[in-house]
Amino acid sequence: MSRPFDSMDPKVMDDDMLKVAVVEQGPQEEAGQLAKQEGILFKDVRSLQLDFRNILRIDNLWQFENLQKLQLNNNIIERIEGLENLIHLVWLDLSFNNIEAIEGLDTLVNLEDLSLSNNRIAKIDSLDALVKLQVLSLGNNQIGNIMNIIYLRQFSCLRTLTLSENPIAEAEEYKEFIYAYLPDLVYLDFRRIDEQAREASKLKHQYSIDEMKHREALMRARLEDEKAQRQMLEEHKLAFIERLNGPFLFNSMYSEDVEGNKLSSLPGVDELLETYKDKFVIICLNIFEYGLKQQEKRMAELDTFNECIQDAIRENQEQGKLKVTKFEEKHLLNLNAIREESDLPNIEKKLIECSDDITDLFNVLMTLEMQLVEQLEETINIFERNITDMVGLFIENVQSLMAQCRDLENHHHEKILEIAINTLEKILKNEMDEDLPDDVRALFVDKDTIVNAVGASHDIHLLKIDNREDELVTGINSWCAHLLDKIHREEIVRNRKRVKEINQYIDHMQSELDNLECGDIIDI
Amino acid sequence: MEVLREKVEEEEAAEREEAAERAEWAEKMERMTKTAEVSKEETIMTQDELRDLEKRLTSIEISIPAEYSFINKSLIDVTKLPPSYSTNSPKEEHLLQVADNFSRQYSHLCPDRVPLFLCPLNECNVPKFVSTTLRPTLMPYPELYNWDSCSQFVSDFLTMVPLLDPLKPVIKEEEKAMPKKYTVKPPRDLTSKFEQEQENKRLQEIKNQEEKRLREAEERLLAEEKAKPDPLHGLRVHCWVLVLAGKREVPESFFIDPLTAHSYSTKDDHFLGIESLWNHKNYWINMQDCWNCCKELVFDLGDPVRWEYMLLGTDKPHLSLTEEDEDVLDDDDDIDNLGKEEEDKSFDMPPSWVAQIEITPDEFETRCPNGKKVIRYKRAQLEKWAPYLNNNGLVCRLTVYEDLQCTKVLEIKEWYQNREDTLELKHINKITGLHVDYFRPGHPQALRVHSYKSMLPEMDRVMEFYEKIRVDGLIKREETPLTMTEYYQGRSDFLSYRHINFGPRVKKLTQNSAESNPRPMVKITERFLRNPAKPADEDVAERVFLIVEERIQLRYHCRDDYITSSKREFLRRTEVDSKGNKIIMTPDMCISFEVEPMEHTKKLLYQYETMIHLKNEEKLSRHQAWESELEVLEILKLREEEDDAHMLTISIYDTKRNEKSKEYREAMERVLHEEHMRQVESQLDYLAPFLAQLPPGEKLTRWQAVRLKDECLSDFKQRLIDKANLIQARFEKETQELQKKQQWYQENQVTLSPEDEDLYLSYCSQAMFRIRILEQRLNRHKELAPLKYLALEEKLYKDPRLVDFVKVFV
């Protein structure tokens, strides 16, 4: 690095430096005078140039929220840092610095042009967030592995790439490889890519590219699949019946049930379990389907409600607009008349008229708003009643289905108990034909043990069912409560906003009129 | 009733005929055409078969009563007409007798009824039976295939001329007629309307009473204008066309009025009754009572109780409509049937005496006689011209009058065709003086409608444009002396409206012309549609440049959930502060109302930049307004030029008018002609010179034929010999010359230069070549000559002109 300013001391990017730069690069001439007069806020700056300043560390840029173009080239920066806040950045120049690794760019999702040439970068990575990247300059760095190119395949907007004066550029296959693996690239190392050369390279690398494409396609398909599944689960969760479309609940009943699993090896329990599971799953499916249907119903109800509310608001808004427009037409004429009037009493009379008009408008608008508030309130109440009823009905029906599950469980429990006691009797009489595993046999010591074991299994099962039911009921109740709360809150916010708007407008009109009054009096 | 209903058959016939005939007979037709719609007679137009209809319409011949020499004889050269016009064939004579007999019986049986319209005189003063004036003909124009466009065509051709006596058809016996004028509309129309109104009156609410009173007043006025009810009601006679249901998907029978080409239901009140019907096959008398107009008539011509036929002919008494149709349909069948039936039936309709109608494309396009037609309506007059007849492209003009006498013009509508400036319709309102011009797409300035009172600039006018053709998306520009308003659509800057107020023109002392002294602009108002890419608070909805006051007002679009919108007003006065420094921007130069106050707009810098931007925009808008003014001037100038030039466009498919196509077509024809000539030559008749020696037009005798053949053969033989001799002579001449040359060479061989020697050698080789060729030709001729001779002889034996005679000798 034989740069002339290497010898100079590193400088700190402090407020003063930034202020000077901002003023220097800000508006000029008349606008410049105004800018100086008022001062320029960092957050209003769109573009900033800080080159040849011997900066060692990027700092103090957090206020430049709206910066779109930043030039930090020809400094002695060693790390990319302190740019997290500059999320609107489109253009970033960090060339001719001492950077060794690409980092700290994860928030710059709008970046389109990135220059990192003439640094000491050895590996292309950490660029994943830059989905809009179009131009990437990495000339004169230390990039040596040609596989870095593959990393660039993910940037579908990338059109221009510079990699000259890197170790990989020495490789014989360098250009061919890039042509083949980055088919959307238009410019490489400041030259337009020749179509024929590209075709030739593609042919040459056809096999490996196809393979890679296949892998990529598989990966994409898998990701999409997962996404779809997640989405589905999300939907089910919204209906509060997630995982009820299968034996999930049943399996979970047995997953923590040690005794139950042990007992299942008893003769006859297998079949019993099989039928039990079938019946149980059918009930679960019923709950699931019923839940989906109910969810659909609730959404339809909500949609209708929203639509009606929006219609009412829009209609009211139109009326308001109409009133305002009419008023403004009249008001404008009145103001003009006042300006032209020279007779003081007349002016005063007209001023009073105008003032009355404004008051009238205020009353009219407020009346409209009050009307709307009443209408909406009533509608919201009706909706609240309906949706609560729906939720209540849903809960009731689900509970009755869950009760069926419990009945099944109780029934099953009795059967198991019977089998267990029979088995115990057999064992005690030594009539047992089959061999039982030792841990199972350990249960059949006396009647109490076995009854306790079966009972414990039964308790676990009931607990699971209860939990699932609770989960569902809590979920839907809290959803309902949140929804209603949100609707009420939104209506309040809307009302406040409108009242504020009306007041603001009326105040403005009134003050305009007052100003006119003063002005006239002064004139006279 | 019957009396009322009677009559004028001739008129009908006349109309028909007219329809049929083309230009030459136009005059006659006019006479015949008749009057009001009170009607009687019917010709049967069996069915809808358009072909039928068309045939009939086109085929009708006029018979004109002799006494009434309506026909301007000087215009019709009777001598050029086919003999069938001036004579009656025996069969026709017979038919006339039958008709006469029929008519006598009829007048005997029905003394109250009007004499039948059976045998009017034609243009040669020869009586012809009406049915024979019809000759079904198929015309090569698709427009004539369907009844509506066909009857329109016929009605265009007909011109209505009132009869001298509206009550009497021009028939031999009733020659004298008193000239009498009558108005067109029957009062019946009026009364019925009035009754309807009475009805309405009862039903309508009181609020309609005023309206009603107004209308009543109008009615009264009309009634006064009309004078008394038509005294001739029910007495007039008319001819029209009946189309019977059945064929060609005609669901029910209907009438066509040939003068207007309108169709009427058979239940129409205007048609009071039917006296008789005819088509090209037969003649029927209506025996049904017409007390309720034609509403209850049954059009089953096969029913002899309702319809008394004249000829037993092809129409059997029980003939149903469909059969009738079929008969009518097929002429060939007809003829066959005729032949057959003649044997067992007493009499049949003779073929039509009328020459086939021919309509050239020219005449078809011209439509009306001389390409011009005037139709008078109540308080209106419609004039029609053939395309290209007027050199300004005028094809139709409707003049609406205020009064019945047609003296005060209310408005005029003129339709144009084929104009280069795409002018389509000119509408002039004489009361307001407003002109409205309508243009088809394609005007150089994309003009669609232009309405104005004066062609001077800066006056009231509205121009509408085809906005898709214009780059700037202008739809409409309205002008008054002090304003100009423009409406736009589909612009990328979302401008939708621009309104300019002008001040009175300042008189300049300099001698500048009007163009360099435009009216000063006082105010420019521009409105923009919502640009969805911008937030509402930054999307200007309306901006007003108050140029004189140096103020700029902005109104922004309204946010979705708000009812008020932001406003901003700039005073762009430049002022100087106490120290004499220019004030760049002060807070009071920009008055803002913001629905949602924003921080950055409070800044002077922002306001300053906005104002600078607006100043530039103002300049631009003024420039655009100025350009609009220029454009108006340009369009006005162009319009004047176009009106003066009124060029007509000619389609490239119009080979008659398009010069280039014409040349091309003529060249093609020439080529074809030449080709044809060549072919004719190749088929020269070898007998022609010999036949020419014989007296023309006479049949050959055997002796002549044999002589002809011999002469032809000997002549051919002679020619073969001559040809052989000719070749021989040339051969000898060539040989001699060669010998001479050789001799000369041998004598002068020593003194010859190499060039001469070369010349001699080349001559020798050429001469030898020629000699050899001649030798070959002679040999070949000798070989072929006998064959050719035999071939001719054979041909002659087979010649159709000689074959009968020559064969015997062979």
Quick one: which of A412, A421, A397, A400 has its CA closest to A460? A412
Contact yes or no for A456/A259 (Cβ under 8 A): yes
> How close B606 comes to chain A (CA, Å)?
9
Return the residue of A nearest to B561 by Cα. Answer: A317
Is residue A1 domain-resident?
Answer: no
**Given a cut of 50, is residue B179 above it in pLDDT?**
no
| Lowest-pLDDT choice from A222-231, A456-465, B23-32, B160-169 | B23-32
Residue to test with chain B: of A34, A325, A502, A509, most B Cβ within 10 A: A34
* DSSP 8-state class, residue B121: B
Q: Coil, strand, or helix at residue A48? A: strand
Instruction: Assign B315 a pLDDT band (cuts: 50, 70, 90).
Output: very low
**Per-residue pLDDT at B705:** 79
**Could you tell me which residues are beta bridge partners of residue B546?**
B523, B551
Q: Are strands B283-286 and B276-278 parallel, antiparallel or unpaired?
A: antiparallel
The answer on pLDDT for A112 being more than 90 is: yes
The total of other beta-carbon atoms located within 10 Å of residue A383's CB is 20
Give the residue from A330, A338, A332, A334 showing the smallest Cα distance to A523: A338
Strands B409-416 and B394-401: antiparallel
What's the pLDDT score for residue B313?
Answer: 56
pLDDT band at B681 (very low <50, low <70, confident <90, very high): low
How far is it, in rounded angstroms, from Cα B223 to Cα B271?
23
CB contact under 8 A, A37 and B563: no
Q: A125 and A21 share a domain?
A: yes
Q: How far is CA B500 from CA A333, B449, B471, in A?
A: 19, 21, 21
Report yes or no: B35 and B330 within 8 Å, Cβ to Cβ: no
State the smallest CA–CA distance between residue B535 and chain A in angstroms. Answer: 17
Residues of chain B contacting residue A27, judged by C-beta atoms under 8 Å apart = 605, 609
In a shared domain, residues A201 and A216 = no
Most confidently predicted of B50-54, B215-219, B762-766: B762-766
Amino acid found at A440: V
Q: Over range A39-54, report the average pLDDT.
A: 85
pLDDT at B508 over 70: no
Residue A394: pLDDT over 50: yes
Q: Is the pLDDT of residue B696 over 70?
A: no
Q: Are residues A103 and A124 in the same domain?
A: yes
**By C-alpha distance, which of A403, A444, A453 is closest to A425?**
A444
Start-to-end CA span in chain A (Å):
76
Q: Using CA atoms, how far apart are residues A389 and A394, in angstroms rounded to an integer?
A: 8
In a domain, A448, yes or no: no
The answer to whether position A453 is within a domain reads: no
Collapsed DSSP state (helix, strand, coil) of residue B201 = helix
The answer to whether residue A493 is domain-embedded is yes
The minimum CA-CA distance between A35 and chain B, rounded to whole Å, is: 6
pLDDT the model gives residue B449: 93
At B747-801, the pLDDT tens digits run 888 887 888 888 888 988 898 999 999 989 889 988 888 888 888 888 777 777 7
CB contact under 8 A, B593 and A30: no
Does A358 share its domain with A475? yes
A-contacting residues in B 519-578 (Cβ below 8 Å): 558, 561-564
pLDDT at position B600 is: 75
Å between A40 CA and nearest CA of chain B: 9
User: Are residues A225 and A177 part of one domain?
Assistant: no
Q: What mean pLDDT is reported for chain B?
A: 75
- Are residues A20 and A160 part of one domain? yes
ipTM of the prediction: 0.73
How close A251 gets to chain B, by Cα (Å)? Answer: 52
Which of A266-270, A392-396, B51-55 bottoms out in mean pLDDT, i.e. has the lowest?
A: B51-55
pLDDT of B337 reads 40
Q: What is the pLDDT of residue B428?
A: 92
Output the CA–CA distances (angstroms, integers) from residue B510 to A227, B313, B506, B514, B629, in the order listed.
80, 97, 11, 11, 22
Please judge whether B563 and A44 are an interchain contact, meaning their C-beta atoms are less than 8 angstroms apart.
Answer: no
| Interatomic CA distance for residues B810 and B806, integer angstroms | 7
Within a domain: A425: no
* The pLDDT of residue A483 is above 90: yes
Q: At what angle do helices A195-204 and A174-181 cross, to 10 degrees?
A: 90
Two tokens at B231?
A: 């005294």
Do the domain assignments include residue A130? yes
CB contacts, 8 Å: B564 with chain A = 324, 501-502, 504-505
In this predicted structure, the answer to whether residue B316 has a pLDDT above a threshold of 70 is: no
Pick B537 or B650 by higher pLDDT. B537
Burial of B155 (0-12, 13-18, 19+ CB in 10 A): buried
Which 8-state DSSP code applies to residue B698? P
pLDDT at B511 over 70: no
pLDDT at B506: 74
Average pLDDT on A258-280 reads 83
CA distance B617 to chain A (A): 18
Q: What is the pLDDT of residue B471?
A: 87
Residues 587-626 of B with CB under 8 A from A: 591, 593, 595, 600, 603-605, 608-609, 612
Parent domain of A277? 248-406+469-523
Give the DSSP letter string of B544-562. EEETTTTEEEEEEPPPTT-
- What are the contacts of A66-75 at 24+ separation with CB within 8 A? A72/A97, A73/A97, A73/A115, A74/A3, A74/A5, A75/A50, A75/A51
How many Cα atoms are found within 13 Å in the side-chain-facing hemisphere of B77?
Answer: 2
Cα(A305)–Cα(A326) distance, integer angstroms: 32
The answer to whether residue A153 scores a pLDDT higher than 50 is: yes
pLDDT exceeds 80 at position B475: yes
B75-104 confidence digits (pLDDT tens): 566 677 788 888 888 888 888 888 888 888
Q: Return the pLDDT at B27.
A: 34
Q: What's the token pair of residue B316? A: 């059997």
- Residue A171: give its domain's CATH number: 3.80.10.10
Within-domain flag for A400: yes
Tell me the mean pLDDT in the region A322-330.
Answer: 91
Q: Residue range B400-414: average pLDDT?
A: 87
How high is the mean pLDDT of chain A?
87
Q: Give me the sheet containing A187-188, strands edge to edge.
A: A47-49, A69-71, A91-93, A113-115, A135-137, A160-162, A187-188, A191-192
Q: Are residues A194 and A100 in the same domain?
A: yes
Residue of A nearest to B596 (CA): A501
Q: Give backbone dihedrals phi and psi of B265, rounded to 5 degrees, phi first.
A: -70, 155
Tokens of B461: 């006018």
Helices (H) and strands (E) in chain B, counts: 18, 25
Tell me the mean pLDDT in the region A501-514: 88
**Across residues B430-441, what is the average pLDDT?**
91
Query: Measured at the alpha carbon of residue B620, what is the angle toward residues B614 and B621, in degrees to the nearest 5?
Result: 85
A493 with A366, same domain? yes
Backbone angles phi, psi at B629, to 5 degrees: -60, -45
Report how far apart, in Å, the C-alpha atoms of A255 and of each of A241, A259, A326, B329, B430 are: 20, 11, 73, 94, 99
* Statement to judge: residues A228 and A146 lie in one domain: no
How many domains does one find in chain A? 3
Q: Which of A161-165, B168-172, B389-393 has the highest mean pLDDT?
A: A161-165
Contact A162, A136 (CB under 8 A): yes
Q: What angle do CA B83, B88, B93 make, to 5 degrees?
A: 170
A216 and A264 part of one domain: no
- Predicted confidence (pLDDT) at residue B43 exceeds the cutoff of 60: no
The distance in angstroms from the start CA to the end CA of chain B is 85
What is the distance between the alpha carbons of residues A398 and A469, in angstroms, rounded to a whole number?
8
Pick from B508, B479, B505, B507: nearest CA to B628: B479
Q: Say whether B564 and A498 touch across the interface (CB within 8 A).
A: no
Is residue A295 domain-resident? yes
pLDDT on residue B327: 36
Out of A238, A260, A289, pick the residue that ends a domain: A238
pLDDT digits (tens, 9 = 90+) for B578-612: 666 666 677 777 888 888 877 777 777 888 888 88
Quickly state the pLDDT bin for B23 (edges 50, 70, 90). Answer: very low
Judged on CB neighbours under 10 Å (0-12, 13-18, 19+), B312 is middle
Do A142 and A220 have their domain in common? no
Is A194 within 8 Å of A175 (Cβ atoms)? no
Please name which of B449, B440, B436 lies closest in space to residue B477, comparing C-alpha atoms: B449
pLDDT in tens, A410-454: 998 998 888 888 888 888 887 766 677 777 777 787 888 888 888
For residue range A177-197, list pLDDT tens digits in order: 888 888 889 999 999 998 998
Binary contact (A34, B563; C-beta < 8 A): no
Dump pLDDT digits (tens) for A17-38: 888 888 888 777 777 777 777 7
Using CB atoms, pick whichever of B562, B595, B608 lies closest to residue A34: B608
Angle (CA) A369 A374 A376, round 5° = 90
Q: What is the pLDDT of residue B589?
A: 78
Nearest residue on chain B to A328, alpha-carbon basis: B564
Q: Is there a contact between B65 and B10 (Cβ–Cβ < 8 Å)?
A: yes
Question: Is residue A272 over pLDDT 80?
Answer: yes
| Region of residue B215 (phi > 0: left; psi between -120 and 50: alpha; otherwise: beta) | alpha
The residue among A198, A82, A92, A181 whose CA lies nearest residue A135 is A92
- B593 and A505 in contact by Cβ < 8 A? yes
Element (DSSP H or E) covering residue A288: helix A269-340
Same domain? For A177 and A221 the reply is: no
| 24-43 of A, contacting B, C-beta below 8 A | 27, 30-31, 33-35, 37-38, 40
